[in-house]
Amino acid sequence: MKVSWDWLKQYVDLPSSHEDVADRLTMVGLNHESTEIVDGDPCIDFEVTSNRSDCLGHIGIAREIAAVFEVELRVPEPKLAESTTPTSGEVGVQIEPHAACSHYTARVIRGVKVGPSPAWLVRRLQTIGLKSINNVVDVTNYVMMECGQPLHAFDRRAIQGREIIVRSANAEESFEGIDHQTYKLSPGMCVIADEGRVIGLAGIMGSVNSEIVADTTEVVIEAAAFDHAAVRQASRAIKLRTDASHRFEKALDPAGVAWASDRCCELLLQVAGGELLSGRVEQGAPLPTADAIELRMPQFERLIGISIETSRAIDILRSLGCEVTEESAGAVLKVQPPSWRRDLTREVDLLEELARIHGYDRIPEKGKIGMSVVVRPPRQVALERVRKTLACYGLDESFTSSLVPAVWEDWSGIEADQAPLRVQQGMEGVLDRGMQAAGAVDQLRRSLLPSLVEARRINEFRGSRDAELFEMAKVYWPVANSLPREPFTLAWVMGNEFPRAKGIWESICAELSLVTEVESAAPRHPAFHSAHQATFAVQGQAVGTIGVISDRLMQAFHLREPVVLAEFDLDQVLALARLERTFNQLSPYPSVARDFNFVLGEAVRWSDLQQCVQRTRPECIESIDYRETFRAPDKDGADQKRVLLSVTLRAPDRTLDGDEVEQICQAIVTSVGSRVGGRLLA
């Protein structure tokens, strides 16, 4: 809301500089945006919150100044010289059922002389950025900017017949505004019409067919209350915002309609002359005033934390326009808020008024809340460990959008019975230039993998071919008749080295004291290469997959080089995590290491070999370390491999002597021979 400093002087004796007033008003809720000196007159722009429609006019701002600086407010009382001819003989008003209008008034002035406005009027409008049109239009704008109630002037000649009809627009109806643009209307929008045609779009703009022109001599002044939601919807639908619609979108003062109509006619007679017909023609009525509010004075301290004198409270409320009476020896106030403050309906609303005018700076920065202790939830601790582990491996954390183009899921081949969740409108401006063709960003993702592949692609394109990224975020699965399931998910993308990816997962498990195994019976995951993938389980539950990217996904995203992807259900993993560690007694006895080089069939997996070794003398085997795999088909035959491993032996209670070590080694060789058909290479 832009106000003219000079204009404000009409309503209040300004007690201070405009800079100081702007600062003080900021501290009572009118946020000072900017000040510009226009032709010597400061134009001060205040941000008005949506509950304070009363401050969308100069009088409202002046009232706040009066309350803050404790000075008197002067609101002009319109004095009208009406002729004896009744307005009702000239025009009538009908509000049709379902029209979004609760109150409509019309007045008529005959014999006006349309012409330029007087200098004072031009100047005031100019300060707040309004161009002068002619004296009639300027007065309607002036009164809107004075009290916040929009008005409209029609040329009487343009109204066919006697009746002004307020109705809902018909389908296929259109409207040409005074901006010479044509708007398509639809039912639900409220219009002002005569017998035949639309002459105004309620609360938004008048029509060019009834605008005030140079030879207009008879004007109809509309002042009305339109439904704020309907005006907002219409204004949004036709993408037209005006000073009037901006005001009507808020709940305006219902009692302000009559005042604005009278004030407008008073000024019109002054600047354009003519004869004002007698009386307002009106339909509908102002809203009944609300009941008085009981304000229990002790509630102020209970909520705000400081006390206020009852007399001070009464002064503040009265300065804002409330009627106040004391009850119970000042412990309770009966407060009747003014009609322009429809936001004041409850005790707590009045407490806020008292607090803001009394001054929030009076509240000390010291309260009475006691100490309280927060136990860090294990889940949070576990998550931090996961994050740190990933960082240790050089992966950078990324944040990607929860909404993705639908086609990404097709590319990654997610197979599910249910359709994914979609939103009604997509995100705008979030796709990289290279991905514009992917379509609307309106699907809630069920996997983080495509988002990470896209991030990898963008990095490749920008010259960082080594981007290794992880993300922890929710994915979304619809659930019938319930809120969706939102599993918290970990995923990463990295260079094409499966064992390194597996090592990261193993380190995460080690951090969380979990043992992980490859789940050999798991179904293939289509986002991964059909041969080079593995599903991992913890305590028998499959929790995620690591693998090389599928050819399809790689080609769809135009990745230059293959990558390894991993995705895990963190909710499952974190639930199984064990965070406490307990000490295991160290053996004081020396260890002995022995290397074995076995020749085995290709089909024998490391996990099988490891088990063969482990089961021989578990209490003496400290570790079994994989070293290397060689293949020498000319010596060993096809489909054979050589696996070199190292076994460390140590007993908890004695030194293993040479004989015992030999026995264990022999047992290992025998076990491997009998269970997986491996032979020791001489």
Task: Give which of 366, 218, 223 is closest to 305, Cα–Cα.
Answer: 366
Q: Side chain identity at 653, as an amino acid letter?
A: D
Q: How far is the CB of 480 from another protein (least distance, A)?
A: 6
Instruction: Report the site for another protein in 436-465 (rule: CB under 8 A).
Output: 444, 455, 458-459, 462, 464
Per-residue tokens: 317 = 């409320």
Task: Show the site string, 583-612: x = touches another protein by CB under 8 A, - = not.
Answer: ------------------------------
DSSP state of 157: G
Q: Minimum CB separation from another protein for residue 449, in Å?
A: 14
Site for another protein contains 27 (CB under 8 A): yes
Residue 672: name the closest of 623, 631, 616, 626 by CA.
616
Of 319 and 402, the one with the shorter C-beta distance to another protein is 402
**Residues 558-577 contacting another protein, CB under 8 A:** none
Does position 638 bind another protein by CB under 8 A? no
Q: Which of these segments, 91-99, 180-188, 429-437, 526-534, binds another protein (CB under 8 A)?
A: 429-437
Integer angstrom CA distances of residue 33 from 25, 47, 96, 189, 522: 11, 6, 42, 33, 62
**CB-based burial label for 634 (10 Å; 0-12, 13-18, 19+):** exposed
We find the least distance from the C-beta atom of residue 403 to another protein, in angstroms, to be: 7
Choices 4-12, 314-322, 326-334, 627-635 (CB under 8 A): range interacting with another protein: 627-635
CA distances from 445 to 396, 552, 570 (A): 21, 19, 16
Q: Give 12's strand partners.
A: 73
Of 95-103, 133-141, 273-281, 423-431, the window that binds another protein (rule: CB under 8 A) is 423-431
Near another protein in 207-236, by CB under 8 A? 228-229, 232, 236
Residue 92 to residue 282: CA distance in whole angstroms: 8
We find the least distance from the C-beta atom of residue 472 to another protein, in angstroms, to be: 8
Give the one residue of 81, 119, 214, 371 binding another protein; rule: CB under 8 A.
Answer: 371
Q: Which of 372, 436, 584, 585 binds another protein (CB under 8 A)?
A: 372
Which range, of 132-140, 141-149, 214-222, 420-428, touches another protein by CB under 8 A? 420-428
Number of residues in contact with another protein, rule: CB under 8 A? 100
Query: Whole-number minimum distance, CB 100 to another protein, in Å?
Result: 11
Residue listed under structure tokens 């779009």: 201
Cα gap 50→458, rounded to integer Å:
42
- Closer CB to another protein, residue 385 or residue 387? 387
Rounded least distance, CB 442 to another protein, Å: 8
Name every residue whose Cβ is closer than 8 Å to that of residue 124 and which is 6 or more positions away in sequence: 4, 6, 7, 142
The strand pairing partners of 547, in sequence order, are 533, 565
Which stretch, 80-88, 310-318, 323-331, 426-434, contacts another protein (CB under 8 A)? 426-434
The answer to the question of residue 356 lying near another protein (CB under 8 A) is yes
Tell the smallest beta-carbon distance from residue 219 to another protein (Å): 34
CA 620 from chain centre, in angstroms, equals 61
Partners of 454 in the β-ladder:
none
C-alpha–C-alpha distance, residues 176 and 493, integer Å: 57
Task: End-to-end CA distance of the chain: give it in Å, rounded.
Answer: 93
Query: What's the min distance (Å) between Cβ of 381 and another protein?
Result: 12
Q: What is the largest CA-CA distance in the chain?
A: 131
Among 98, 422, 560, 635, binds another protein (CB under 8 A): 422
In the window 464-503, what residues touch another protein (CB under 8 A)? 464, 466-470, 473-474, 476, 478, 480-484, 486, 497
Residue from 10, 14, 26, 275 binding another protein (CB under 8 A) = 26
Q: How far is the CB of 69 from another protein (least distance, A)?
A: 16
Q: Which of 420, 450, 544, 678 binds another protein (CB under 8 A)?
A: 420
Interface residue with another protein among 79, 180, 239, 302 (CB under 8 A) is 302
At residue 351, the 3 state secondary structure works out as helix
Q: Are 460 and 469 in contact (CB under 8 A)?
A: no
β-strand pairing of 516-519 with 528-538: antiparallel
- Residues 6 or more apart whose CB falls under 8 angstroms from that of 392 comprise 507
